Amino acid sequence: MRPKDPYKAFRFIVEIDGTEVGGFSDAAGLEARTETDDYREGGTNDYVHKIAKETKYPNLTLKRGLTDKTELWNWHKDVVAGVILRKTVSVILLDSQRQEKWRWIFSDAFPVRWSGSDMTATGNSVAVETLELAHHGMRKQ
């Protein structure tokens, strides 16, 4: 039996509060990092224990082509106005048949940064919007 090939990183969708919100070109920040402290054991053996501390999650960064859809812009605009609406954001990895294989869920997410593309009249690249989200951790479903 042939081992299964790894999934392709370009086949993913993003949902916000259970609704797919369009195609994204990038999703970064799928990471959990547990910090450690070193504790040296006494005696002459020089053994160092690694003691687990807290686990930290970086912000989730999403990028997509700029379109007439304004839900990401409006969500960030609300935060700027002091209305912090926390939402559940899912990044869903699909297989070649577009079947869900992995789902990372980011709880209580809200935008902390929105940015658009640099504009240049000499290029022909797609205008991109970037949304950075703070959240209360990531889990896999």
Residue 39 has what pLDDT? 87
DSSP label at residue 18: T
1-6: long-range contacts at Cβ-Cβ below 8 A with a sequence spacing of 24 or more? Answer: none
Residue 4 has what pLDDT? 78
Residue 44 has what pLDDT? 63
Q: What angle do CA 13, 14, 17 make, to 5 degrees?
A: 140
What does the pLDDT look like over 52-105, one tens digit per residue?
999 999 999 999 998 888 899 999 999 999 999 999 999 999 988 999 999 999
Question: 94: closest CA among 103, 107, 83?
Answer: 103
Domains and CATH numbers, the chain: 12-32+58-140 (2.30.110.20)
pLDDT at 22 over 80: no
